[in-house]
Amino acid sequence: MIEIENMVKIYRMGQVEVQALRGITCRVEKGEMVSIMGPSGSGKTTLMNIIGCLDKPTSGSYKLGGIEVSKLNDDQLAEIRSKKIGFVFQSFNLLPRTTAIDNVELPMVYGDGKNRRKRAMEALEKVGLSDRARHRPSELSGGEQQRVAIARALVNNPSIILADEPTGNLDSRTSEEIMSVLKELNQRDGITVVIVTHERDIAEHTRRIINIRDGKVSGDILLKPRSS
């Protein structure tokens, strides 16, 4: 599903060059649920942005579902984001003056626009929020907002959901709820889920933890499935 080889990303900030990724190689298979862990500044968010086709690597290869995407232009990347990738952000990133269901419909506005309302409602049902469809983000709790964001991420039937610190702004009980929603999507619908986090117990919800340090993979651990 995700094949990354020797990926390097260099940012230029005025005169200074910052090497965010220094040769990352890793693979994520279809249907996996993976955490990427690392301290801040380790390059995990950069890796996430490149996997999510929001950014391009400076060198190295990145194949998504067998397609080399590192050389595509902005519009082609947008197309891939629209069809294959769903994002979940730490700060939810919902459109503020727009109802939950309209937020969920947003990706369909730029992609496949058929039966928008019905499909948006189905996505909200999957995350258990169909009764809050007409509420605006300001009328929803943090957990509910994140669930709307998850519904938005899965509405175009993506092959990957990328979650960047999805529980970072939530209390531990709500975090558990969000993780179980993501796990359900992974197990029931077979969607590949990649979570970036720095919290150990969130990472332990997944089967595999990739550790990043100083722009390199410093560890790749397979966990035993939890008994629960």
For residue 223, the minimal CB distance to another protein (Å) is: 29
Helix axes 100-109, 142-154, angle to 10 degrees: 30
Residues 121-180 close enough to bind another protein by CB under 8 A? 152, 156
**Interstrand relation of 16-28 and 2-13 (parallel, antiparallel or unpaired):** antiparallel
For residue 109, the minimal CB distance to another protein (Å) is: 5
Among 83, 198, 207, 213, binds another protein (CB under 8 A): 83
Chain Cα centroid distance, residue 88: 5
For residue 95, the minimal CB distance to another protein (Å) is: 6
58 touching another protein, by CB under 8 A: no
Q: In whole angstroms, what is the distance from residue 167 CA to residue 178 CA?
A: 7
Candidates 209, 155, 150, 193; CA nearest to 174 is 150
Helix, strand, coil: what percent of the chain each, to 5? 35, 30, 35
**Among 24-32, 93-101, 134-142, 209-217, which window interacts with another protein (CB under 8 A)?**
93-101
Which residue's CB is nearer to another protein, number 6 or number 110?
110
> Which strand (E) or helix (H) includes residue 150?
helix 142-154
93 touching another protein, by CB under 8 A: yes
**Among 81-89, 191-199, 206-214, 215-223, which window interacts with another protein (CB under 8 A)?**
81-89
Q: What are phi and psi of 211, to 5 degrees?
A: -95, 135
Q: In whole angstroms, what is the distance from residue 124 CA to residue 181 CA?
A: 12
Residues 183-202 close enough to bind another protein by CB under 8 A? none
Supply the DSSP symbol for 130.
G
Among 9, 81, 119, 205, binds another protein (CB under 8 A): 81
Binding residues for another protein (CB under 8 A): 49, 52, 54-55, 74-75, 78-79, 81-83, 87, 89, 93-95, 97-98, 106-107, 109-111, 113, 152, 156
